[in-house]
């Protein structure tokens, strides 16, 4: 997995609440069997008209936001479907961090699987960052220090330690768990005796 | 969460499945059953291949194609990308020795319909699937939640998932349900009350006499939409209704283990004095048949109500959000819900595509005709639901009324297959999401119960089942 240490760049403001994963990447793009190539379809219905032309005033279609590395968005970002295509499309577009007041659980988790840092801030801080983003102020996100800097603002954020470590080191989660193979096997042997109906061959 | 003291249903399942703690402090949770479908699995199987990892326990996984499949002429999938996805699932499952119900198998259907139908879903289990509506299986007292594709790969490779415990929330609904009010109205009402982020970080346990009085089908509708309240999972204590439903199904415990299983399942309900991080109590007499007016499942109102006015919103953000929704939905504030004219009716999905739902619709539309300006389609949740409906003559009643009778799949709930709304079309839908573009770009979705959708199909407007006799 890609590492995440720090990030410097323009942040796109998207002041909409409840942005769902259908909005982030609509269904027609879920037919792929690859993880890549989805960036061009990110926020498809807000970005393109019925004929597939760019909608010029949508933030990600305007300069300099078309090169955004960060998204600042309204509450409950990433609600809805579990599709990992949502973080895949954000990453493929170039976005490596999303800032909001809250995230839906599955989306939040999916971000970390893909080297994207979702950051939860207070409503007051979100307002400040939204304004800074609109004013095209450069953001700096420092994961080791857990700080977002934008203009005069310096905002600390919380992150669970294991998630931080995984991003900093780009760890392979499956590889780590496979290190506990003996424990998993022992668990299964124990349950085979205690709950045999769960081990009936399908 | 302590090991001693009273425990919730969630706490009990959690501690039973804890394999251990990793050095990074995270918990490894054992997964009893893994359901796999064509859309969120190809990249997971590819990942296994790239790192040369086998599937840890293939017999704990069941696969089916549902999201992408046509509901007519399914011998040949016309969309080349959909076809590749379905073929990829067939190939991957064969390669790894995973049971797969193919498109021609009568057991094929929506993954969350067939799990319970086959007896795969059982109390006390942990169940995951790369689909957010996995919460459906919580109706059996199983801890069931949706996961992303990277986690699908993790479960295939290790039969475990990395998790930290959720918080416990209990929503109790008490009293006899008023006439015309059913499980769909209950869950829409709950989502309206707590909001789409109300359950974030929590597992919601539904309790109370209104919930425990529901059939398994009704309980599944409730748990199914837990994700629309932001919760990771929904849970309902297993009881005799649960055991009766499971008994005799193909993957249910056989006679040799039945009593032992029931004994274990009977120990699962939450202890009387268990603690919850949040408690909500609802009196069911306050609930009407519910309909969504906007583009989030929390945008609900009684069918007797009106479209809200943005100016009555408490915050500026909420006002903007209502304005945006109304513009998308093409609705004016103050419009009576029953004055909203429909173009399409969709009955189906993992929320309401079970036999009980189809029976209710049939009883309402029997000897009637759908309004001349609507197109109505009914998509059974599985091949076996379809077969049963045909044996009961339900298909004939529905076809006589003017409904299209389709093959099983997710269909217009998410419109990955050809069943989609056109821009501006307005649909009464028994599914679970009314997001912008969900059922087709520019399509306008009103979520409601099968009863309301059936009555609305006949009148051509959103209709109150209580006025409809």
Distance, in angstroms, between A152 CA and closest chain B CA? 25
- Are A187 and B19 an interchain contact pair (Cβ–Cβ within 8 Å)? yes
Q: What is the pLDDT of residue B3?
A: 59
Contact B380, B359 (CB under 8 A): no
List CB contacts (< 8 A) between B296 and chain A: 18, 20
Contact B316, A38 (CB under 8 A): no
Q: Does A197 touch chain B (CB under 8 A)?
A: yes
Tens-place pLDDT, residues B420-440? 999 999 999 999 999 999 999
Distance between CA atoms of B120 and B62, rounded to whole angstroms?
Answer: 9
**Chain A to chain B, count of Cβ pairs less than 8 Å apart?**
194
Q: Encode chain B (469 residues) as per-residue pLDDT tens digits.
A: 445 799 999 999 999 999 999 999 999 999 999 999 999 999 999 999 999 999 999 999 999 999 999 999 888 899 999 999 999 999 999 999 999 999 999 999 999 999 999 999 999 999 999 999 999 999 999 999 999 999 999 999 999 999 999 999 999 999 999 999 999 999 999 999 999 999 999 999 999 999 999 999 999 999 999 999 999 999 999 999 999 999 999 999 999 999 999 999 999 999 999 999 999 999 999 999 999 999 999 999 999 999 999 999 998 888 999 999 999 999 999 999 999 999 999 999 999 999 999 999 999 999 999 999 999 999 999 999 999 999 999 999 999 999 999 999 999 999 988 899 999 999 999 999 999 999 999 999 999 999 999 999 999 999 999 998 6
Among candidates B59, B158, B227 on the partner chain, residue whose Cβ is nearest the Cβ of A177: B158
Q: Does B328 touch chain A (CB under 8 A)?
A: no
Q: Is B86 exposed, middle or buried (0-12, 13-18, 19+ CB in 10 A)?
A: buried
Scanning every residue of chain A, which has its alpha carbon at the shortest distance from the alpha carbon of B156?
A174
Q: Is B429 exposed, middle or buried (0-12, 13-18, 19+ CB in 10 A)?
A: buried
Q: What is the value of pTM for the model shown?
A: 0.96
DSSP B187-242: HHHHHHHH-TTTTTTEEEEEESHHHHTS-HHHHHHHHHGGGGGT-SEEE----HHH
* Residues in contact with B82: Cβ distance below 8 Å, sequence separation at least 6, in sequence order: A31, B68, B69, B70, B416, B417
Does the ipTM surpass 0.85? yes
Tens-place pLDDT, residues B185-230? 999 999 999 999 999 999 999 999 999 999 999 999 999 999 999 9
Q: Does A75 touch chain B (CB under 8 A)?
A: yes
């Amino acid at each position: 997995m890609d590492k995440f240490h720090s990030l410097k760049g323009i942040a796109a403001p998207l002041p909409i609440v409840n942005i769902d994963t259908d909005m982030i990447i609509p269904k027609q793009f879920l037919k792929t069997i690859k993880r890549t190539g989805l960036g061009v379809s990110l926020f498809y219905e807000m970005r393109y008209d019925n004929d597939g032309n760019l909608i010029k005033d949508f933030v990600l279609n305007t300069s300099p936001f078309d090169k955004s590395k960060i998204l600042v968005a309204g509450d409950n970002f990433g609600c809805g479907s579990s599709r990992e295509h949502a973080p895949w499309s954000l990453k493929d577009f170039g976005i490596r961090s999303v800032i909001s007041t809250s995230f839906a659980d599955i989306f939040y988790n999916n971000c970390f699987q893909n080297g994207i840092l979702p950051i939860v801030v207070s409503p007051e801080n979100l307002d400040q960052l939204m304004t800074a983003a609109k004013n095209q102020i450069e953001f700096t996100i420092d994961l080791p220090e857990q700080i977002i800097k934008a203009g005069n603002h310096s905002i600390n954020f919380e992150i669970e330690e294991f998630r931080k470590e995984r991003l900093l080191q780009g760890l392979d989660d499956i590889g780590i768990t496979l290190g506990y193979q003996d424990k998993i096997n022992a668990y299964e042997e124990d349950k085979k005796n205690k709950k045999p109906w769960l081990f009936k061959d399908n | 969460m302590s090991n001693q003291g009273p425990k919730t249903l969630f706490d009990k399942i959690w501690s039973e499945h804890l394999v251990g703690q990793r050095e990074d402090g995270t918990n490894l949770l054992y997964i009893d059953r893994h359901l796999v479908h064509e859309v969120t699995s190809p990249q997971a199987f590819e990942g296994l291949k790239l790192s040369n990892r086998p599937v840890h326990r293939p017999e704990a996984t069941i696969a089916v194609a549902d999201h992408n499949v046509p509901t007519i002429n399914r011998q040949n999938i016309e969309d080349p990308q959909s076809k590749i996805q379905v073929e990829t699932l067939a190939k991957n499952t064969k390669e790894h020795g995973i049971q797969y119900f193919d498109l021609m198998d009568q057991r094929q259907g929506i993954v969350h319909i067939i799990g319970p139908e086959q007896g795969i879903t059982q109390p006390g289990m942990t169940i995951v699937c790369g689909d957010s509506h996995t919460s459906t299986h919580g109706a059996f007292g199983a801890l069931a939640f949706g996961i992303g594709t990277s986690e699908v790969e993790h479960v295939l490779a290790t039969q475990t998932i990395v998790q930290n415990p959720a918080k416990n929330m209990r929503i109790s609904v008490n009293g006899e349900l008023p006439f015309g009010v059913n499980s769909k109205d209950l869950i829409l009402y709950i989502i309206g009350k707590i909001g789409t982020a109300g359950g974030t970080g929590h597992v919601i346990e539904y309790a109370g006499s209104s919930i425990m009085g529901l059939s398994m089908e009704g309980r599944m509708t409730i748990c199914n939409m837990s994700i629309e309240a932001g919760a990771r999972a929904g849970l309902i204590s297993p009881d005799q209704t649960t055991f009766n439903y499971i008994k005799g199904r193909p993957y249910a415990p056989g006679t040799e283990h039945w009593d032992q299983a029931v004994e274990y399942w009977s120990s699962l309900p939450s202890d009387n004095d268990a603690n919850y991080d949040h408690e909500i109590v609802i009196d069911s007499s306050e609930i009407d048949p519910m309909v969504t007016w906007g583009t989030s499942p929390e945008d609900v109102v009684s069918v007797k109500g009106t479209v809200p006015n943005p100016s009555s919103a408490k915050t500026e953000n909420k006002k903007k959000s209502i304005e945006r929704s109304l513009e998308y939905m093409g609705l004016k504030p103050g419009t009576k819900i029953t004055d909203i004219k429909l173009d399409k009716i969709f009955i189906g999905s993992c929320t309401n595509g079970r036999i009980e739902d189809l029976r209710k619709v049939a009883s309402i539309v029997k000897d009637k005709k759908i309004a001349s300006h609507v197109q109505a389609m009914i998509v059974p949740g599985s091949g076996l639901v379809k077969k049963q409906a045909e044996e009961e003559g339900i298909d004939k009643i529905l076809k006589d009324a003017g409904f299209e009778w389709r093959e099983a799949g997710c269909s217009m709930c998410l419109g990955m297959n050809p069943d989609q709304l056109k821009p501006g079309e307005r649909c009464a839908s028994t599914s679970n999401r009314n997001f912008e573009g969900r059922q087709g770009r520019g399509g306008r979705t009103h979520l409601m119960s099968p009863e309301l959708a059936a009555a609305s199909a006949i009148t051509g407007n959103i209709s109150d089942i209580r006025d409809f006799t």
